[in-house]
Amino acid sequence: MKFQSYRSTVYGTGGTVATSQPLAAMAGVKILQKGGNAADAAVATAAALNVTEPTSTGIGGDAFALYYGQKSRKVHGVNASGRAPKDLTLEKLISLGFDKEFPRFSVHTVTVPGAAAGWVDTVEKHGNLSISEVLQPAIELAENGFPVAPITARAWARGAKFQLSNSPNGIELLKNGVAPGSGELMKIPTMAQTFREVAEHGKAGFYEGRIAESIVDIIQSMGGHMNLEDLRDHTTTFEAPIFTDYRGHRVYEIPPNGQGLTALIALNILEEFDISSMNPHSTEYYHLLIETMRLAFADSRYYVADPSVVELPIQSLLSKEYAKERRELLNLERATVDQVKGSPEKISNTVYLSVVDGEGNACSFINSNYMGFGTGIVPKGCGFTLQNRGHNFSLDPEHPNVLAPGKRPYHTIIPSMITTQGDHGEQLYASYGVMGGFMQPQGHVQVGLNLIDHKMDPQQALDHPRFCITDGTSGGTVALEEGISIEVMSQLGSMGHPVRPVSGFGRGIFGRGQVITRSSDGVLAAGSDPRADGMAIAL
């Protein structure tokens, strides 16, 4: 698939939805037209994405959100990520032979699904409508069927091969035993029934009763440790976002256990460079950003953990003084692939969508199973897969992110939001995000600089070719996207970066972003990533 986008930025004033699947975007638009606000439309879109793109997301996974209220002029955080089972200990895993890393799709990587509670709680706290109204478009898509989009069909075939075909009840997400092809009509009646139970009973419809029992039955039958109490005790947390001020803009991220800290550390380091005067296609530019991300990952891969379990030096990591200290480690001539974490102080460590409504409320929302279909494990009669988010726990007993009962793991999925200071408080500048594992903070930085420093419009900011440190470590291989010149790729390699050119469908590694900006007079401008099936729709 050639890297080529002929899209224009989409403009409107009555509300905008941008995501990776057109039918899911329309679900959000329907909710806006029904009188729902940005929070309602975001949850409707997330649920519809579970139907139309279960290869990436679902109610068996986790979610995070940032919500900007036009009246309050404040940004609020929603952490809808789940925790490890209370009976799963590091000692038990080691006794099973897991002493370094989980197998990717092991039943032991299943953490409590947080998305269902996150959907309900987001609507109840920030929305205008009932969860029953909000889930109706997704229920109709699952019951009546939908034509599968091309990139999704490709991912579905891969997931069928590596996860669903080896999974109990994986047949519920296949068509006649195989993955649906591009343009084929797909129905998922068991998923529709799951959504109906949540629509009728709220959180209890998922975390108690038939669905909860089906989740526990399948996990325990495969040797896992989750029980009904783990599900019943799950809670969403509403948290103050973390942020940094960058050139007159305030950039918000979800705090740990999310990895948004990575992007903010990087922006603090970059702030002293004259980014706007640099050619965004040049070797100099890519080298500086890659080196900065190496430093940021060296810190975040250690310090990002569950702050309710371990004390984390978040404010010290976000300080401008610490950024100055880390900035001095940058080598502008050579790659430094052995960066180590700093010591700010002693410590005791996907689909993305964006909605802005006509009133100016915004919801930056992300929902994920982690690795495609997650574990691929489908609770019988439920029509969704269980995530494998626990794969991101460390098995090093001295690491802040070490597995522990009831603990949230390091999370890759992160929404972002940018504000500026207006006459009456903070004014929304952009609701945006870039999904895709460890690409996400790298995407936030690259797209954010395109918007703020290079004055690109939303679609241009997303179209620009990206780099990705593939494993989110300071020394990882750097994937370079088609569109970066061969000369620049060669020069980066000569500087010591382990580089890998990527083109075609492989461009999925660079994430799939969505951006909506809002001007002071209420005009919404939106872009949708050309690396996905989706689009932005404006009213």
> Beta strands 467-469 and 10-12: pairing type?
unpaired
Return the half-sphere exposure (C-beta side, CA atoms, 13 A cut-off) of residue 254. Answer: 33
What residue type is assigned to position 242 of the chain? I
3-state secondary structure of 427: strand
Residue of 11, 10, 16 lying closest to 45 (CA atoms): 16
Q: What is the DSSP string of 130-169?
A: -HHHHHHHHHHHHHH-EEPPHHHHHHHHHHHHHTGGGSTT
Q: Looking at 111, 190, 350, 419, which residue is catalytic? A: 350
Phi, psi at 246, each rounded to 5°: -135, 110
Beta bridge partners of residue 244, listed in sequence order: 251
Longest dimension (CA), the chain: 61
Residue of 285, 311, 237 lying closest to 446 (CA atoms): 285
> Which strand ranges, in their side-by-side order, compose the sheet holding 524-528?
10-12, 524-528, 512-518, 425-435, 416-422, 249-253, 242-246
Q: What is the rounded CA–CA span in Å between residue 379 and residue 389?
A: 17
- 350 annotated active-site: yes
3-state secondary structure of 417: strand
Instruction: State the catalytic residues.
Output: 350
